[in-house]
Structure 1
Amino acid sequence: LGKTHAGIVKSSYLVITIHLKNNLVYQLISGFLPSLLLSVLSCVSLFFPVTDFNERIMGSLTSLLVLATIVATASSVNVQTQYLKFIDIWYILMTVYCFLIVVVNAFINSLILVQRDSVIPIETIKAAMKKAE
């Protein structure tokens, strides 16, 4: 710093410009695309035959488990911030979506079991009618 003749301080400064770039393709391929595919696979389990509960529940549970692994890996790799990023909200929504599909599969199976238990076989009805006569 130097002084000019009028007593005004003359200063020098340096301007540094840093260009930050986010690799969008990497985020799409490593984050959004796998979770979207797993959510679609989980949804496809709803189109399996209703009587194949094991296949339906295993497909949706496997998708949920793999999605949870992807979320855990991504949370350790991504930058930690005080606020929610879009990728965090995306992962929360996809996890809730896959969980709801598991719940729907279990609910459909319970409805089938209740319906199956409430139906009386025709042979039982015929035998009861013969005893009544």
Structure 2
Amino acid sequence: MLKSSVVMLVAASIFLSSGLAPVRAQQNANYAYLGLEPDIVTNYLGHNARKLGYVSVTIELMISDVEQLEIAEHHMPLLRATAIEIFGRQPAEKVKSLKGREEIRITLLRTLQQHMKEETGGEVVKNVIFTKYLYQG
């Protein structure tokens, strides 16, 4: 009897604490979103050197804090150029696969964070989200 009461008490405390954690995270989060406009449209390497494909991507950047939104807007040319450069050097297999798309997203995120750290001293970009992703080639 005592054993089952202790188990229920522990289970209830875990349930309640896990339910409160997301609420605290949402209250402390002060993210902003910034779209790279217009869409990124660029060529990528085709299956052979004679053929190029193109990709059109709508990219939204999650900014770490609303107060850093103006900093990110100021560096928009660097952010756009970085995205175009990364997509432009991808092989067709990577552009066309879901796994490759995720690898591109992670590479873009890390590169943007590195550039922003060099320019501002902070990462500024928390995440990269592709909201539209079209390719041909």
TM-score by length of 1: 0.26
Structure with the bigger RCO (C-alpha within 8 Å, sep 6+) is 2
Structure number with higher helix proportion: 1
Structure richer in strand, relative to its length: 2
Q: Normalising by structure 2, what TM-score?
A: 0.26
